[in-house]
Amino acid sequence: MVSFGGWVRTVRQGKGVGFVEVNDGSCFSSLQVVVEPESPSFALLDGIATGASVWVTGTIVDSPGKGQKYEVRAESLEVVGPAPEDYPLQKKRHSFEYLREIAHLRPRTNTFGAVLRIRNILARTVHDFFQSRGFLYVQTPIITTSDCEGAGEMFGITVRSEPEPADQGAEREPGEFFGKPAGLTVSGQLEAEAVCSALGDVYTFGPTFRAENSNTSRHLSEFWMVEPEMAFADIHDDMDLAEDFLRHLIRQVLEEGADDMAFFDQWVDKGLVDRLRGVLDSSFQRISYTEAIERLQASGKSFEFPLTWGLDLQSEHERFLTEELLRGPVIVTDYPRVIKPFYMKQNEDGRTVRAMDVLVPGVGEIMGGSQREDNLERLERGIEHLGLDKASYWWYLDLRRYGSVPHAGFGLGFERAVQYITGMQNIRDVIPFPRTPRHAEF
Ligand code: 4AD
Ligand code: MG
């Protein structure tokens, strides 16, 4: 005898027997519950509709029907919460755009159930991977006063009410709770570096926020990032780690999430599983930014955005490189100094930095990282050069003043990883409740 609760996907009657498909979210498949005419629950069938929650007690038996190995012969079937006819998820295919408008109900669909289970495997695997390699998990602040990427994309934090009377005369501007402008972090890297400079290899895994007004299928205003930081390490160690990490995530999902991945392979992105398997068997190609520009120029392809040494690669360039020219994941290194943040280690040529971006088909940039500038004077000059306020980075500079070491790290955009591995087209469909410009319902 088994007892379980779940949500009704479909109800039908055939040859006087009732069939109720119940899904409890634990896996892709629903369980067929058979209600015989003799059962006291048979009379209830008319009141059971798609979307209702039910509690089932019965026996698992071999299923004579097609499509499932087992079914449950119901002893009793109890409606816990009915669903009236206006239930928004009737049995038909809904567009992803429509489902975004009912993000509170879309976890009940096949696609989102699968996305959220794969996301869960990935989140756990992030920790497994780094923990098994001796990395320490460090929690970096969400509220910060330093703009890590220096791109001016921070959401500011203010208080709505004026300070309490007792605070008046205290040294702070009205509305500046922290005494100076503060915001939501764009990255935990700078704080991770501080801990790395004491405890060795560390990683963060948390939410980050960016006020960039990008309405694309790859940008969110709130997204999760995984940021490892390695001490006594250079750009080559960084690339090796990035590659091992991404492969490990893929391997684990293919192993543990086979049913959900078969669904994505069939309905969302044909050939996905074979393509991911291919990634497991080959190493990522590595080329410099300068070579990438040359290869793209030589391809003869015309792009919307200019392709000039010194300008950042746009998504169309990245995707052409990884999807058409090199046909697989690629690591692009040594970008021009002027388009990268202040903390990256400068190369001897004076024009480029030890940056590395990992690009993958279908998504483009999935990870961005670098070896960090560990020389105090050079770092100071870099900050000044970009017109940033050196004083506010005093503590970050201290890390170079006292016991500086070569170190390197990267950030993996967690949603972009889920996108890549599930083949989902839009990043808004791989996070339960997406935040994008003008959208923060739910
Ligand atoms: O390349 P980014 O800006 O690098 C950093 O933030 C570094 N501090 C990381 C580090 O070295 N520790 O961001 C890292 C990754 C990108 O490669 C991309 O996958 C993702 O974060 N990302 C976004 N994902 C969703 N929405 C956005 N608006 C994103 N911006 C960046
Ligand atoms: Mg980047």
Is residue 238 within 6 Å of ligand 1 at its C-beta? no
Of all protein residues, the one whose alpha carbon is nearest to atom 30 of ligand 1 is 219
CB 186, CB 395: distance < 8 Å: no
Please give the distance, rounded to the nearest whole angstrom, from the Cα atom of residue 341 to the centre of ligand 2: 9
How far, in Å, CA of 322 to CA of 308, rounded?
18
CB 17, CB 65: distance < 8 Å: no
CATH 3.30.930.10 domain extents, the chain: 108-429
CB 190, CB 399: distance < 8 Å: no
Ion ligand 2: residue ranges with CB closer than 5 A: 368
Atom of ligand 1 nearest to the CA of 411: 9
The bound ligand whose nearest atom lies closest to the alpha carbon of 210 is 1
Of all protein residues, the one whose alpha carbon is nearest to atom 22 of ligand 1 is 413
CB burial of 133-172 (b: ≥16 within 10 Å; e: otherwise) equals eebbebebeeebebbbbbeebbeebeeeeebeeeeeeeee
CATH 2.40.50.140 at 2-92, yes or no: yes
Of all protein residues, the one whose alpha carbon is nearest to atom 17 of ligand 1 is 367
Please give the distance, rounded to the nearest whole angstrom, from the Cα atom of residue 343 to the centre of ligand 1: 15
Q: What is the pLDDT along the chain (442 residues), one digit of tens a residue?
A: 999 999 999 999 888 899 999 999 999 999 999 999 998 899 889 889 999 999 999 999 999 988 889 999 999 999 999 999 999 998 788 999 999 999 999 999 999 999 999 999 999 999 999 999 999 999 999 999 888 888 779 999 988 776 565 555 555 566 789 988 999 999 999 999 999 999 999 999 999 999 998 889 999 999 999 999 999 999 999 999 999 999 999 999 999 999 999 999 999 999 999 999 999 998 999 999 999 999 999 999 999 999 999 999 999 999 999 999 999 999 999 999 999 999 999 999 999 999 999 999 999 999 999 999 999 999 999 999 888 889 989 999 999 999 999 999 999 999 999 999 999 999 999 999 999 999 999 9
Helix (H), strand (E) counts: the chain:
11, 16
* Pairing mode of beta strands 136-137, 156-157: unpaired
Is residue 149 within 6 Å of ligand 1 at its C-beta? yes
Is residue 413 within 6 Å of ligand 1 at its C-beta? yes
Give the SS3 label for residue 202.
Answer: strand
Is residue 191 within 6 Å of ligand 1 at its C-beta? no
Atom of ligand 1 nearest to the CA of 357: 17
Please give the distance, rounded to the nearest whole angstrom, from the Cα atom of residue 340 to the centre of ligand 2: 8
CATH 2.40.50.140 domain extents, the chain: 2-92
Query: Per CATH, which fold does 108-429 belong to?
Result: BirA Bifunctional Protein; domain 2 (3.30.930)
